[in-house]
Every structure is written in C-alpha cells, then in structure tokens.
Amino acid sequence: MTYLVVVAHPDDEVLGAGATMFKLAQEGHSVNVCILSGEVNARNYRPTIDELNVDVNNSMDILGVDKIIIGDFPNIAFNMVPHLKLVQFIENAMIETNADVVLTHYPADLNNDHLHTSLACQAAARLFQRRNDVPQLRELLFMEVPSSTEWGLNTAMNQFSPNTFFEVGEVSVDTKIEALAQYRGVMRDYPHPRSNEAIKGLAAYRGGQAGMVYAEAFESVFRRGF
C-alpha cells in the first residue's frame, strides 16, 4: 500500500501521524509526505529556509518516508490562494506517489491553513473518478494535530470524532517524538500539547479508547472496500 500524508506546514505530518507513518514504513508500506507551505515565517521560533529543509529531511529519514513533496504556498495565507491551485498541487502529488490512502487535516482545526488544506484534499480525493490512469483511492483519513485540532472551538462545525485507530506501540511513539525533535523551535515544555509528555499521553489515551497499546486516532471519511 502507498500512503500520502498531505499537510499545510512542516511538522504537521509528524504531529498528526508520525507514529503511524513509522509503523507503516517498518511494515514495508510506502509512506510519502506532501507539505504545501515550505516556510514557517509566522512561527515565533523560526529557522531559516535552509535550516528548515534540513529539519524536514532529518525528521522524514527517522520515520522512513520515501518521498517528500514541498510546495511554496504562503504560510498562514492559504485563504488567499485559489482553491484550484491547492487541489491541483495535491492531485499531482497523488499521481507522483501513486497514493492508495491519503491522510490530511481535520477541516475544523483552528489553523486556517489546515482548513483549506483539508478542503483541497477532499476535492483531490475524487481524482480517480476523473482519470482512469491513477490508482483508485482506497481511503481518505482526517488526523488530529495537537495544539490545533483540540482548539477547533467553532460549535457550528463538528468536532474531531475518531473512528479509526492505528496501534503503534511505544517504540513508534518514541520515534515520533524523536522525529519531532528534529524541528527546531517546535516542541514545548509540559503541559503544552506539543510536549513529549502530552504527545505520549495522547497516544496512551487513544490506545486506551480502542483497547490498544498506544495508538494514533483518525476519522475515516471515505473508504472503498476492495
């Protein structure tokens, strides 16, 4: 199986699915990442572009990612980008990686770039209906990104409600934390949701929900059984 994780910013992919990505890669699946904005100029502790590229590559190497696709869409300004451009960029990433399963942001995340990434990804997920030369998408999954998903406070929108759990085990969670540590300036001290303790605690909680030893939780919103 080929997996494609589509996110707005560098580090979102690890926060949302890092342990699952590592576990899947260890099992022999192809794991790929598409990051729409290759800059972090709105971050308090921001590295240079060269430093960020090093961080991305180091983090993805730890997780066993096959291919990294990075766009140049403006950070925290996806609402100013034509929707079609985001869709087509994601479609091209799906074609380049032959994606069977796509993981992306939950559309009610507080971060506005996450919303537009999710909407574009939902539109791109229909690509197999328009073109018979691309794999038929098996599943589209929404993931939770600590410090953004739990702050989706707009009660007019549904809150993240996981229905799919990947058991990852403690080694994969520790590897996720190691991969996150490659992103300079991202992690915080406990009780921040991007702390080592909170990351591991969330995995333990999601595991407990599903009777598993550490897990990452997702919301499956489209699945084709075959």
pLDDT of residue 46: 74
On whether the CB atoms of residues 120 and 86 are closer than 8 A, the answer is: yes
Question: Looking at the domain assignment, is residue 11 inside a domain?
Answer: yes
Question: Looking at the domain assignment, is residue 211 inside a domain?
Answer: no
Instruction: Over range 194-209, report the average pLDDT.
Output: 98
pLDDT of residue 123: 97
Question: Looking at the domain assignment, is residue 210 inside a domain?
Answer: no
Question: Does residue 43 surpass a pLDDT of 80?
Answer: no
* Whole-angstrom distance, CA of residue 26 vs CA of residue 114: 28
Question: Looking at the domain assignment, is residue 197 inside a domain?
Answer: no
Question: Is the pLDDT higher at 219 or at 44?
Answer: 219
Closest CA to 179 of 14, 2, 3: 14
Closest CA to 19 of 145, 173, 194: 173
Domain count for the chain, please give it: 1
**Residue 89's CATH number:** 3.40.50.10320
Q: Which domain holds residue 43?
A: 2-186+217-223
Give the model confidence (pLDDT) of 88-132 as tens digits: 999 999 999 999 999 999 999 999 999 999 999 999 999 999 998
pTM (predicted TM-score) = 0.96
Question: Looking at the domain assignment, is residue 209 inside a domain?
Answer: no
pLDDT of residue 16: 98
Question: Looking at the domain assignment, is residue 191 inside a domain?
Answer: no
Question: Looking at the domain assignment, is residue 198 inside a domain?
Answer: no
Q: How confident is the model at residue 42 (pLDDT cuts 50, 70, 90)?
A: low
* Whole-angstrom distance, CA of residue 36 vs CA of residue 9: 6
- Tokens 């080929």 belong to 2
pLDDT of residue 48: 87
Other CB atoms within 10 Å distance of the CB of residue 203:
27
On whether the CB atoms of residues 81 and 74 are closer than 8 A, the answer is: yes
Q: What distance lies between CA 10 and its chain's CA centroid?
A: 9
Other CB atoms within 10 Å distance of the CB of residue 71:
18
Question: Looking at the domain assignment, is residue 12 inside a domain?
Answer: yes
